[in-house]
Chains A and B, each alone.
Chain A
Amino acid sequence: MVERYLKAGSLVEAMQFLNHYEGRARVVAGATDLWVGIKNHNTKAEAFVDITGVDELKTVEISKDYIRIGSGVTFHELEKNVQIQKNLRALQEAARWMGSPQIRRMATLGGNLVSAQPAADGMVAMSALDVAVEMVGPDGTKRRTLESCYKTFGESMIDSSREIVTAFVIPLHNQAHSYFGRFHLREANALPVINCAVGAWMKEDGSWESRYILAPLGYHPARLRAMEDALAGGLLEERELYDTIEKHIEELTFRTSLVRGSAEFRKQIAVQLMHEQIIRLWYNHEQEGESDAKH
């Protein structure tokens, strides 16, 4: 039986509320996923702790070395933020396509992780960005890798009765670029048939590191590590690139879904989308006079 809807004015107050309820309260952010479930099912929570009024979770800070995005930043704000447009293109593109205008006004980046949907647009983009997730709980603050935050389908490792995701910290790597692509059947509120993100940056030793991400393929955005290795040798001719992508995606297991389409259809879309995004990634580097870029 839920007794109270509590609106926290600060992070300290939010943690006080959670501590008071000793695991019997639940954090609420944008609520766009949560409230669909809450309306239809019973919840064991005795209180909701709303963190959308916590200003310290709503900032985007940029320094010389990193961008720190508060977990309470909405998708509308992500799409419009100039620093994100400039430095984290994949995230800005993902934010543009997430949900609908109304959902983007409500939904937060932190909620996109905690609800742990396997093709959550924000987290697909984040997976290509070398992100660290910052959170606070009974044992203080800690950081985790994004991948380690997923438990299973629709369930994250974050205990929403005791922990709060506070921020996403993305290093500003040298020569970093990232892009996001999505195939869907209507302009808004359409589940992706496939979404895809790519990212690359130059490491301190001058070599390149890349991330190639596809979803939904499992319970979290899938990083195509074998393809990263295969493409690490340098730029390929377009046909050779396409064949390499096709070969690696052919080995992945796609599910047939009534909503998203047949496995074979989704696989073909995945090849096409990944090819388009990698071309954007490589072409962009070339445009900036880095035709010797290695991936």
Chain B
Amino acid sequence: MQNIEFTLNGSQIEVSIDPRESLLHMLRNRLGVFGPKEGCGKGECGACTVLVEHNAVNACIFPAGKVDGLEVVTIEGLQQGEHLHPIQQAFIDTGAVQCGFCTPGMILSAKDLLDHHHKPSRQEIRRAISGNICRCTGYSKIIDAIEYASKDVSKS
């Protein structure tokens, strides 16, 4: 076991890890952060997506040891007090959530996109969430939500 320190959703964390462990395993099983989901477990479905240094990555194949000294944001870190992040709010307002399993990953992939590109086209949105699989919605509402959120995010 080995101790690492990193920033999780704005708080400094120290945790003991197995050097072979994934970031997803550490978040869910050691820290009780259940927003990132385990779907395929091999980087193909995007349900485990989190932000590391503001970039969307697959936590299931991201070595936990790699985040030592870095900043990690999960879906739990987006809400400011009682205010949902504009992307979260847009998902609600446009009906983009069905079972919800893919939603945290979708929202964080959208955040990566909107943080780097304030007015994406629908094609750019489709591409940005191409690493996130949803089996309920058919994607259209999700794309609507991100497009809708982009207006709020660009205003702020």
State the A residues within 8 Å of B (CB). 2-5, 7, 28, 31-32, 35-36, 38-39, 43, 47-48, 50, 52, 76, 99-103, 105-106, 186-189
Q: Are A188 and B131 in contact (CB under 8 A)?
A: yes
Q: Are A31 and B130 in contact (CB under 8 A)?
A: no
Q: Are B20 and A38 in contact (CB under 8 A)?
A: yes
Q: Are B46 and A100 in contact (CB under 8 A)?
A: yes
Interface residues on B, range: 20 to 34
In the complex with contacts A2-B19, A7-B69, A39-B22, A106-B131 CB distance below 8 A: no
In the complex with contacts A31-B66, A48-B65, A102-B58, A189-B20 CB distance below 8 A: no
In the complex with contacts A7-B68, A48-B19, A101-B109, A36-B61 CB distance below 8 A: yes
CB within 8 A of A102: which of B2, B20, B66, B109? B109
User: What are 5 A-B contacts with C-beta separation under 8 Å?
Assistant: A3-B2, A32-B43, A101-B130, A102-B43, A102-B109
Distance from B38 Cβ to chain A, minimum over Cβ atoms (Å): 11
Q: State in angstroms the CA–CA spacing of A188 and B130 once bound together.
A: 6
Distance from A68 Cβ to chain B, minimum over Cβ atoms (Å): 24
Q: State in angstroms the CA–CA spacing of A77 and B58 once bound together.
A: 17
State the B residues within 8 Å of A (CB). 2, 4, 17-20, 22, 41-44, 46, 49, 55-58, 61-66, 68-69, 109, 112, 126-131
CB within 8 A of A50: which of B43, B49, B66, B129? B66
CB within 8 A of A35: which of B17, B22, B130? B22
Residue of A nearest to B133 (CB): A189
Q: Are B56 and A102 in contact (CB under 8 A)?
A: yes
Q: State in angstroms the CA–CA spacing of A74 and B109 once bound together.
A: 17
CB within 8 A of B63: which of A28, A101, A189? A28
Q: State in angstroms the CA–CA spacing of A50 and B23 once bound together.
A: 15
Across-interface contacts of A103 in B (CB, < 8 A): 43, 58, 131
CB within 8 A of A4: which of B2, B49, B56, B129? B2
Q: Are A189 and B61 in contact (CB under 8 A)?
A: no
Distance from B84 Cβ to chain A, minimum over Cβ atoms (Å): 23
Q: State in angstroms the CA–CA spacing of A225 and B79 once bound together.
A: 58
Across-interface contacts of A3 in B (CB, < 8 A): 2, 19
Distance from B70 Cβ to chain A, minimum over Cβ atoms (Å): 9
Distance from B14 Cβ to chain A, minimum over Cβ atoms (Å): 15
Q: Are B62 and A106 in contact (CB under 8 A)?
A: yes
Across-interface contacts of A35 in B (CB, < 8 A): 22, 61-63
Across-interface contacts of B130 in A (CB, < 8 A): 100-101, 186-189
Q: Are A99 and B131 in contact (CB under 8 A)?
A: yes
Distance from A43 Cβ to chain B, minimum over Cβ atoms (Å): 7
Q: State in angstroms the CA–CA spacing of A43 and B63 once bound together.
A: 14
Distance from A174 Cβ to chain B, minimum over Cβ atoms (Å): 35
Across-interface contacts of B55 in A (CB, < 8 A): 76, 105
Q: State in angstroms the CA–CA spacing of A177 and B120 once bound together.
A: 30
Q: State in angstroms the CA–CA spacing of A32 and B48 once bound together.
A: 14
Q: State in angstroms the CA–CA spacing of A28 and B68 once bound together.
A: 14
In the complex with contacts A39-B22, A187-B130, A7-B57 CB distance below 8 A: no
Q: Are B131 and A39 in contact (CB under 8 A)?
A: no
A5-B19, A5-B63, A101-B128 known; 17 other A-B pairs, CB under 8 Å? A3-B2, A5-B65, A7-B68, A32-B58, A35-B62, A35-B63, A36-B42, A39-B22, A43-B20, A101-B130, A102-B49, A105-B56, A106-B61, A106-B62, A187-B130, A189-B43, A189-B131
